[in-house]
Amino acid sequence: MKILALDTATTACSVAACRDGKTLASAHELMVRGQSEALIPMVLAVLAQARMEVRDFDLIAVTRGPGAFTGLRIGLAAARGLALASGVPCCGISTTQAIAEAARRVESDRQPIIVALDSKRSDIYIQAFDPHGIAVCEPQAIAVTDLRQRIDGLALTGAAGPVAVVGDAATRALALLPDGYYRSSAPDVPDARDVASVAAQLHATGQQLPAPIPLYLRPADAALPKNGGRLRP
């Protein structure tokens, strides 16, 4: 199984070429903006290093959200463009699952993991995983006022010990949570190698891979004008 994976969902840009669980070539750069300039040259550099072309892959995988709307569209448009032009199938992996994948390697005790991502708003994007890495809820936007109650409701703490929290909103989330949660030292941004790894695991289960469509978790900001903007009846 050869997978070409991309991520531009948050504050990084990364590309990985993987085969059967091994990384053939990869690149990862932290960046707040500029992914639209960096991504395709990075894809070509990784392909050159792996001595492969896009059409050599069995699957293209990309983070589909949650994340920054612009970043999601940069990665998804690029991945879908690569797929369209090469005929290689394409799937979307949730950003939170890719981050949890890396955290599982760091948290050797196999703790439950909560991924908390910055929404640039008052709410926080959350997804929680059990010690086996199985998602116990869908990625969701949770208001900070509801966070503690919602996380408590997942009953993650207990026999498995404390819960690791990771992601660029982990510190914000931890401030709202009681004892029993700690900050993971795993990276807060996704890495395309983990995107490929999650895609390979999903593929191995035989289930249909999620489509490369964005997971915005919030409707577009737009206010309806009064009377459709008409001045008089």
> Considering the rule CB under 8 A, would residue 224 count as an interface residue with other proteins?
yes
- Out of 25, 77, 141, 154, the residue judged to bind other proteins by CB under 8 A: 77
Instruction: Give backbone dihedrals phi and psi of 36, rounded to 5 degrees, phi first.
Output: -65, -25
- Out of 25, 27, 40, 154, the residue judged to bind other proteins by CB under 8 A: 40
- Out of 44, 48, 143, 211, the residue judged to bind other proteins by CB under 8 A: 44
Cβ atoms of residues 140 and 126 within 8 Å: yes
Q: Which phi-psi region, left, alpha or beta, contains residue 85 (left: φ > 0; alpha: ψ -120 to 50)? A: alpha
DSSP classification of residue 223:
P
- Out of 38, 166, 177, 199, the residue judged to bind other proteins by CB under 8 A: 38
**Minimum distance from residue 117 beta carbon to other proteins (Å):** 19
CA distance 120 to 130: 27
**Minimum distance from residue 38 beta carbon to other proteins (Å):** 7
CA distance 164 to 27: 26
In the chain, how long is the greatest CA-to-CA distance? Answer: 67
DSSP classification of residue 89:
-
Residues in contact with other proteins, total (CB under 8 A)? Answer: 43
Binding to other proteins, residues 50-69 (CB under 8 A): 53-55, 69
How do beta strands 113-118 and 123-129 pair? antiparallel
**Taking contact as CB under 8 A, which single stretch among the options 13-21, 160-168, 174-182, 221-229 is the one that binds other proteins?**
221-229
- Out of 29, 48, 58, 81, the residue judged to bind other proteins by CB under 8 A: 81
> Considering the rule CB under 8 A, would residue 233 count as an interface residue with other proteins?
yes
- The CA–CA distances, whole Å, from 231 to 17, 222, 223 equal 58, 20, 17
- Out of 46, 83, 102, 142, the residue judged to bind other proteins by CB under 8 A: 83
Minimum CB distance to other proteins smaller for 33 or for 105: 33
The tokens for 176 are 């709202």
> Considering the rule CB under 8 A, would residue 228 count as an interface residue with other proteins?
yes
CA distance 210 to 215: 11
Q: State the residues that interact with other proteins by CB under 8 A.
A: 34, 36-41, 43-44, 53-55, 69-70, 73-74, 76-86, 213-214, 216, 220-225, 227-233
